[in-house]
């Protein structure tokens, strides 16, 4: 049998939902060639209302076995991940449905054979009524076609009744694969607080290079409203000199270890372009990888992120901090940066990172002049999430959550027309942050208390609601 593309719908509403789906996708990648994953969605239960909400996604795999053999493998994976016998459409740790398998069609009811122990219907008989299947399916391939009706996934999604018209809630297990770590994109703008533990950062080098000082500042950032703490041990300012992985770990490891042992609740992000450093810091408690090179400076970074099972911010940059200023030459800065960033995000998926773990960053100020950075800020709608996956094919958006880092950067002084030291760029930072909402899902900032107010007002204008108090989450 030739190798065909199969679309598998995954769902979980018992136990550690995100962990269950992650485990099932990993098993699929061991059994078949995993080609794509959709975003992760939180959905209301269907058919039986009295049960917890689900997490859902769709994965595309390439297989050469028979449809019934493929279905048998899916049922085995369900058991291995932890599914127990349950009522039809009832709560379950994991559910794997074979939605499409090439253009194959099969119905046990019309085959005339004796009832098999493993019933098989292809395509899935209820796919056309399930938004929790169609939306992630259309996200992966809006042209995926129903072999009987000929309707595409995008067309079936658009044909759902009005009561099913609202897009589903996209989520990311940002802090952990437990439900308390689940971020619901679009509800409000999150703040990533900057914690530099370097001696030479452009803004605050040397201020927090001890574990005690860094921990105290991280707790202050969290109290002020930071949702994520981003620990950086290597300066990435223009012209910065690289340091060895050993030196980076010497600076960062005691800080990450101290933060993990502290009362800090916000997830710890590590700002590194070295795979070995990311792995070591993840073992000490880091929950997010923030790579300014988009995984380009270390070819092991993307496979390492996939193996760690952590969300990753991939930023656009050309060259490295020492050379990037000389590489700010573009035919069309918005189109070129968008294309190059899309390539890094696609490379991450090809390395095994599921789409729901990926966050894009256009890299404001990195291999960009001040006018180029401003042009990117004017076009953030081309980099973030599509408003609905049904329109993703026609949308110009990259369709990934978006992080924007403008805090205290030199282009702000150029825009103001006054040479400002980094610590005096808070007002200009505020203007750039406000202009980034609602397209930015995360703002990376130094002045968390002030930018929290900026984000709250911008959210109230653009999203219909401001940020909750700093002590609450975004659920």
Mean pLDDT of the chain: 92
User: Do the beta carbons of residue 314 and residue 298 sit within 8 Å?
Assistant: no
pLDDT at 206 over 80: no
- Across 9-23, 134-148, 169-183, 453-467, least confident range: 453-467
Q: Which of 17, 170, 409, 452 is catalytic?
A: 409
If one looks up domain 188-463 in CATH, what number appears?
3.20.20.20
CA distance 94 to 83: 6
pTM of full prediction above 0.75: yes
Radius of gyration for the alpha carbons in the chain, expressed in angstroms and rounded: 23
> Mapped to the 3 state alphabet, what secondary structure does 343-385 carry?
HHHHHHHHCCCCHHHEEEECCCCCCCCHHHHHHHHHCHHHCCC
CA distance 290 to 273: 8
Give me the residue spans of the domains in the chain. Answer: 4-166, 188-463
Q: Which of 17, 251, 444, 452 is catalytic?
A: 444
| pLDDT tens track for 50-84 | 999 999 999 999 999 999 999 999 999 999 999 99
Q: Which pLDDT score, from 0 to 100, does residue 130 have?
A: 95
pLDDT at 302 over 60: yes
- CATH class name, domain 4-166: alpha beta
* Three-class DSSP category at 97: strand
Q: Which pLDDT score, from 0 to 100, does residue 332 have?
A: 98
User: Do the beta carbons of residue 402 and residue 360 sit within 8 Å?
Assistant: yes
Our answer to whether residue 355 is catalytic in this structure is: no
> Mapped to the 3 state alphabet, what secondary structure does 8-26 carry?
EEEEECCCCHHHHHHHHHH
Give 223's pLDDT tier (boundaries 50, 70, 90).
very high
Identify whether 123 is preceded by a cis peptide bond (ω within 30 of 0): yes
Chain center to CA of 81: 23
Q: Which pLDDT score, from 0 to 100, does residue 87 have?
A: 83
Dihedrals φ, ψ of 451, to 5°?
-70, -25
Our answer to whether residue 444 is catalytic in this structure is: yes
For residue 7, list its beta bridge partners.
Answer: 60, 100
For range 366-371, the mean pLDDT: 96
Cα–Cα separations (whole angstroms), residue 13 to 58, 230, 294, 428, 435: 15, 31, 33, 44, 37
- Show Cβ contacts of residue 5 under 8 Å, excluding neighbours closer than 6 positions: 35, 60, 61, 62, 100, 101, 102
What's the start-to-end Cα distance of the chain, in Å?
A: 46
* Three-class DSSP category at 435: helix
User: Do the beta carbons of residue 381 and residue 64 sit within 8 Å?
Assistant: no
């Amino acid at each position: 049998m030739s190798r065909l593309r199969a679309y598998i719908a995954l769902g979980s509403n018992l136990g550690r939902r995100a962990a269950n789906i992650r485990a099932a996708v990993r098993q699929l990648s061991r059994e078949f060639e995993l080609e794509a994953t959709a975003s992760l969605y939180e959905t209301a239960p269907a058919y039986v209302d009295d049960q917890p909400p689900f997490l859902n996604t769709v994965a595309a795999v390439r297989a050469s076995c028979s449809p019934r053999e493929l279905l048998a493998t899916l049922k085995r994976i369900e058991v291995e991940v932890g599914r127990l016998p349950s009522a039809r459409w009832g709560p379950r740790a994991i559910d794997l449905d074979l939605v499409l398998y090439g253009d194959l069609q099969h119905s046990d009811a019309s085959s005339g054979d004796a009832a098999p122990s493993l019933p098989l219907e292809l395509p899935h008989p209820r796919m056309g009524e399930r938004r929790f299947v169609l939306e992630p399916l259309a996200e992966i391939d809006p042209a995926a076609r129903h072999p009987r009706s000929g309707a595409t996934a995008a067309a079936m999604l658009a044909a759902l009744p009005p009561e099913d018209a609202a897009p589903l809630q996209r989520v990311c297990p940002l802090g952990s694969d437990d439900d308390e770590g689940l971020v619901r994109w679009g509800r409000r703008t999150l703040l990533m607080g900057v914690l530099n533990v370097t001696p030479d950062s452009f803004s605050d080098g040397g201020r927090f290079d001890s574990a005690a000082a860094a921990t105290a500042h991280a707790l202050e950032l969290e109290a002020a409203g930071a949702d994520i703490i981003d620990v950086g041990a290597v300066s990435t300012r223009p012209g910065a000199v690289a340091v060895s992985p050993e030196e980076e770990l010497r600076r960062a490891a005691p800080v990450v270890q101290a933060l993990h042992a502290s009362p800090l609740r916000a997830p710890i992000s590590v700002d590194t372009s070295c795979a070995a450093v990311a792995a070591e810091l993840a073992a000490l408690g880091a929950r997010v990888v923030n790579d300014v090179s988009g995984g380009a400076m270390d070819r092991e970074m993307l496979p390492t992120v996939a193996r760690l099972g952590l969300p990753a911010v991939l930023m656009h940059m050309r060259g490295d901090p020492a050379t990037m200023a000389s590489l700010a030459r573009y035919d069309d800065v918005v189109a070129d940066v968008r294309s190059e960033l899309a390539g890094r995000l696609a490379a991450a998926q090809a390395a095994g990172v599921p789409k729901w773990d990926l966050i894009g960053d256009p890299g404001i100020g990195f291999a960009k002049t001040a006018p180029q950075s401003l042009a990117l800020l004017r076009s953030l709608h081309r980099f973030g999430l599509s408003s609905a996956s049904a329109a993703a094919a026609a949308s110009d958006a990259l369709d990934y959550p978006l992080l924007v880092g403008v805090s205290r950067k030199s282009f702000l002084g150029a825009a103001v027309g006054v040479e400002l030291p980094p610590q005096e760029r808070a007002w200009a930072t505020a203007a750039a942050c406000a202009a980034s909402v609602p397209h930015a899902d995360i703002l990376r900032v130094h002045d968390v208390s002030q930018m929290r107010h900026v984000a709250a007002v911008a959210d109230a204008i653009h999203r219909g609601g401001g940020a909750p108090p700093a002590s609450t989450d975004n659920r």
